[in-house]
Structure 1
Amino acid sequence: MQNRTIPRRKPLRATIGIFGVGHYAYWPQFEGLLDELKAKQSRLAQKVQAHGVEVIDFGIVDDARGAYALLPKLQAAELDLIFCDMVTYATSSTFGVIIKTIDIPIVLVALQPLRAMDYSNASTYMQLCNDDFCSVPEFTGVAIRMGKKAPDCILGTLENDPVADAELAEYCQIAKVLHDLKRARIGQMGHVLESMLDMHADPTQFTAQFGCHIVQTEPHDVYRFYRDVTEPEIRIEAEKILGFFDTPDPQSDPITRKLTEEDLTTAARVSVALNKFIEKKKLDGLAYYYEGEPYSELRTVVTNFIVGNSLLIAAGFPMCGELDLKTCIAMLIMDRLDIGGSFAEFHPIDFNEGFVLIGHDGPHHINIAEGRPVLRSLLKYHGKPGAGASVEFKIREGPITMLSISSTYEGKFKFVLAEGESVQGPIPPTGNTNTRGFFKPEVRTFLKRWVAEGPTHHFALGIGHHAETIRKIANYLDLEAVIVSE
């Protein structure tokens, strides 16, 4: 049976502003030039809008007065990212006050209509239509003089340029990440697993550095819904679960067994309660850990989030056990980039074949599984109280990216990134996720370099190579980011 994909709970959203820049002196000199440049900017807006974002086109600014007039409009539009369309040469007075004042990312877009001028038939008019790059150095230099970083730049042609098209798509995805980071309501339930000092985090700093709000919640908030779940709701949810997971016989691990009807029923009931809980609280993610009194019904509830959480993660709702708020944010970033974002840590190293197992117990992003994910009943959750259904799979084979968000001594968040490969091969049948992760130059050196950057022991794991994209996000958030590489 093939994998089924869980649809998103909410569509990804972002609002991108576009304004063009030009030089007022050209318009009376070259009839039709302004209209041609407006058409070029309109085409850019169409291409951006095709990536599922809202686009607001602010027209063309051609002098300093126009820049000052545009500024309050940009500020009022609640934009997530701005494309400055370099439609022709423009003086930096069209840009200076904007880059000085605006705190959201601005990307310079220099996409000329022609791959090359027709030199034998060239004219000044043709040059001005393709002068997109001319003032880029002026703009980046002025940004630095204004005390800002030089803005990113997309260079290429407006049509038939796969590199430029990929960069436009990348920035649209970045805008979707920034949109949700600024607005997310992330639930915090319980406490950090005892003695995990790297998990502790100040909720206020998440608002200060990402913009999101940390919502304080209680295990009983879920328990109240759990008590009221009906038998028909349990039956429907159990059928849904079985539609996404295989339930094989146990293999070598004595604490695993074939999924029992009791564990399936409990997982389904908790899953229904979780969905009602997050809807009531209007949450966009959850970090949790709570043990509850031994043998209590509350303990049954809080130790059986795994299956429901895995369904929610795949639907775009990141959830982290062990109350790891930082990795919850890392998972949200990866999810909004549409590359997955599964809860992970390092497991044993295979020195024979040169890889390290990457996985974790608990919930995971089943939409990026290689093959159908598995549910097993566990007689015990290692290192934690409770027993019940647990999720097992490996990440889709191919390129992978890891993101750990740690805290520095100064209290700032830091992104630690790496890229590797998920490769084919068996994984332990333990009811947990595990992926065979290969990293350059070889596993021993890579892991030493990784830990030297001070990550937490958790990270988000996604598909594809996207470390540079995530580093751009860190840059826009004014956070340190390092890519552990060869």
Structure 2
Amino acid sequence: MVERIFESIKALHKAKVGLYTIGHPTYWVQFDGLEDRLIQYGKFIETQLSQWGEVFNYGMIDSRDKSEAAGRWFNENNVDLLICFAGTYAMSADHIATPQICKKPVIVLNLQPAASINYEKTTTGEWLANCGACCVPEISNAFERTGIDFRVVSGLLGLKETPEISLADEVTYNHPDAIEAWHEIEEWLRAASVMRTLQYSKMGFIGHTYPGMLDMYSDFTMLQGQTGMHVEILEMCDLEKLVKEVTVEERAKKLDEVKKMFIISEDSPADPLAKKPTEKQLDWACTMAVAQEKMVRKFNLDALTYYYRGLDGNNLQHIQEGFILGHSLLTAQGIPCAGEGDMKTAIAMKICDILDVGGSFCEIVVGDFKDQTILLGHDGPFHIAISDGKPVLRGLGLFHGKSGSGISIEATVKKGDITTLGITQTNEGKLKMIVSQGVATHGPVMRIGNTMTPVQFSLGPRLFMNKWFKEAPTHHCAMSIGKNGRLFEKVADLMGMEFQIICE
């Protein structure tokens, strides 16, 4: 998880989860205490799930009528995900109406209370409290044949105390099969939170896509249709108006903040284009940072995609010269900003941010075949919260491949495990996630006012690039910290995106 250095501008939306326990009504009159025991297990699951989502626990479903009522109730509460706890054997006909009425993905929990039953003392009732797995094949068959979208998580329940009614040791919270099961459940809820947050998010698009970058071009309607994000098309004039409203006091406050957060560089010893920032450049970048945050708040944005050239040194060109610092600060405040008009990577960055794993804008900088690494980075923006030490501000005499000059950021992502998340578009117009897990190393970097991180992938640069390029990626991606491939795969699964992992 990322340690936030700023409070997020926008609150994230936790997943809404519909939880229910299933069982067989005949058992309740045959085995005293069994129904209540399973209901208590369900309440334990509710408490656990509440760490990562807003939980609506219907309780026991053991009849068609209850199943229908639960489906309606979950719809009324607008849940994102259904979680079915297989408490004991249950006939599929008694509970299948719930996901048929509330058409959300289902996670079936096959969590056994005891790691091992007490074979010498176990009664039939005791066994039935541990035989939830018995009905899961039936559930899977029924769900598959009726078109219900489902997944199964198996393992141990993970109690910290054994209920008085139990004849076996049910303290399994530290058992690997409980730990792993709950880690997987947590990932499903976090993935569902991504889905919900995107559905209620607004992507700002200012300027245009970098002309000629065909991989960047995407249909706004397609993006909204597949992610739920609304696209707010903005004018540079919207930002220009806000720049004029920035006060001297606001600019001075932002400059103080920046000086505490960044190292103000001297001239680069290598690149004559990378100089110590001038006071004029710093003042302008801070003025722009204030205006950029005002724009985000005015239009209620959750992410931003941008690119603009301007012409012959006009005012709009001058405005875009100050973009990088402010967009980096916004990215650290939970409003990821992607350059060159790359909306797909902005979405990837937003997914990383929702999951609290960073998400910095990057591309291939260069391969180091001696160290067997690939340097990943860009000329901005950067996710300051995942920086390895204080990032550096440099003044660039020109932005390579772009118009103008100004402040840029030089930084490296924290050393250790990283995962890149790229979102591309297929020939059929579908979004596709491309993921790679690697390790950020202590290798050398250039001092040219760009972000860059040496990353070692297990395949090595040659094979990695061949395999990655074969998947037809966009040339940008988001860099996150940690091993997040499995988590990203769950996001892709819930959002209906194709998923491909290049390197684990």
TM range (shorter): over 0.9
Matches within 5 A, 1:208-357: 208-251=225-268, 252-357=270-375
Q: Does 1:369 align with 2:370?
A: no
Greater shift, 175-184 or 454-463, is seen at: 175-184
Name the counterpart of 1:79.
Answer: 79
Name the counterpart of 2:24.
Answer: 23
3-state SS, counterpart of residue 389 of structure 1? strand
Name the counterpart of 1:69.
Answer: 69
Alpha-carbon distance in 2 for matches of 1:62, 1:145? 21
Name the counterpart of 1:426.
Answer: 444
Q: Does 1:461 align with 2:479?
A: yes
1:149 is displaced (CA, Å) by 4.1
Alpha-carbon distance in 2 for matches of 1:408, 1:292? 32
Matches within 5 A, 1:92-171: 92-159=92-159, 160=173, 161-171=178-188
Any conservation in 2 of the 1:115–1:157 contact (CA below 8 Å)? no
Which residue identity is paired with 1:372?
A: K
Which residue identity is paired with 2:34?
A: L
Alpha-carbon distance in 1 for matches of 2:34, 2:354? 39
Any conservation in 2 of the 1:358–1:435 contact (CA below 8 Å)? yes
Alpha-carbon distance in 1 for matches of 2:224, 2:405? 35
3-state SS, counterpart of residue 429 of structure 2? coil
Greater shift, 257-266 or 192-201, is seen at: 257-266
CA deviations 1:333-361 (Å, max 9, x no partner) are 11111111111100111111111110011
Change (3 A) 1:24 1:432: same
Any conservation in 1 of the 2:105–2:148 contact (CA below 8 Å)? no
Alpha-carbon distance in 2 for matches of 1:62, 1:410? 43
Q: Does 1:183 align with 2:200?
A: yes
Any conservation in 2 of the 1:44–1:158 contact (CA below 8 Å)? no
Alpha-carbon distance in 1 for matches of 2:153, 2:329? 38
Greater shift, 215-224 or 77-86, is seen at: 77-86
1:148 is displaced (CA, Å) by 3.6
1:366 is displaced (CA, Å) by 1.0
Any conservation in 2 of the 1:354–1:438 contact (CA below 8 Å)? yes
Which residue identity is paired with 2:185?
A: L
Alpha-carbon distance in 2 for matches of 1:259, 1:411? 43
1:249 is displaced (CA, Å) by 1.6
Which residue identity is paired with 1:18?
A: L
Alpha-carbon distance in 2 for matches of 1:466, 1:91? 37
1:177 is displaced (CA, Å) by 0.6
Which residue identity is paired with 1:479?
A: M
Any conservation in 1 of the 2:4–2:332 contact (CA below 8 Å)? no
Alpha-carbon distance in 2 for matches of 1:249, 1:101? 64
Alpha-carbon distance in 2 for matches of 1:325, 1:101? 35
1:365 is displaced (CA, Å) by 0.9
Any conservation in 1 of the 2:412–2:453 contact (CA below 8 Å)? yes
Name the counterpart of 1:381.
Answer: 399
Change (3 A) 1:345 1:94: farther
Name the counterpart of 2:49.
Answer: 48
Alpha-carbon distance in 1 for matches of 2:13, 2:225? 22
1:4 is displaced (CA, Å) by 7.8
2:457 counterpart (439, 445, 450): 439
3-state SS, counterpart of residue 347 of structure 1? strand
1:448 is displaced (CA, Å) by 0.2
Which residue identity is paired with 2:199?
A: K
1:165 is displaced (CA, Å) by 2.5
Name the counterpart of 2:167.
Answer: none
1:478 is displaced (CA, Å) by 1.7
Alpha-carbon distance in 2 for matches of 1:343, 1:102? 37
1:134 is displaced (CA, Å) by 2.0
Alpha-carbon distance in 1 for matches of 2:105, 2:272? 53
Change (3 A) 1:194 1:130: same
Any conservation in 2 of the 1:154–1:167 contact (CA below 8 Å)? no
Any conservation in 1 of the 2:105–2:149 contact (CA below 8 Å)? no
Name the counterpart of 1:60.
Answer: 60
Q: Does 1:203 align with 2:204?
A: no
1:121 is displaced (CA, Å) by 1.3
Which residue identity is paired with 1:78?
A: N
Alpha-carbon distance in 2 for matches of 1:156, 1:374? 48
Any conservation in 1 of the 2:104–2:149 contact (CA below 8 Å)? no
1:154 is displaced (CA, Å) by 4.1
Alpha-carbon distance in 2 for matches of 1:442, 1:101? 49
Alpha-carbon distance in 2 for matches of 1:220, 1:153? 51
Structure 1 portions without partners, runs of 5+ = none
3-state SS, counterpart of residue 42 of structure 2? helix
Alpha-carbon distance in 2 for matches of 1:81, 1:326? 25
1:8 is displaced (CA, Å) by 2.0
Alpha-carbon distance in 1 for matches of 2:319, 2:289? 10
Which residue identity is paired with 2:117?
A: M
Alpha-carbon distance in 2 for matches of 1:474, 1:384? 34
* TM superposition score normalised by structure 2: 0.93
Greater shift, 178-187 or 227-236, is seen at: 178-187
* TM superposition score normalised by structure 1: 0.96
Any conservation in 1 of the 2:112–2:157 contact (CA below 8 Å)? yes
Greater shift, 127-136 or 261-270, is seen at: 127-136
Change (3 A) 1:335 1:94: farther
C-alpha RMSD over aligned residues: 1.6
3-state SS, counterpart of residue 492 of structure 2? helix
Alpha-carbon distance in 1 for matches of 2:154, 2:253? 49
Greater shift, 250-259 or 322-331, is seen at: 250-259
Which residue identity is paired with 1:237?
A: K
1:284 is displaced (CA, Å) by 0.6
Which residue identity is paired with 2:426?
A: T
3-state SS, counterpart of residue 25 of structure 1? helix
Name the counterpart of 1:399.
Answer: 417
3-state SS, counterpart of residue 250 of structure 1? coil
Any conservation in 2 of the 1:293–1:299 contact (CA below 8 Å)? yes
Alpha-carbon distance in 1 for matches of 2:459, 2:54? 42
Any conservation in 2 of the 1:288–1:320 contact (CA below 8 Å)? yes
For these two proteins, the number of residue pairs brought into alignment is 483
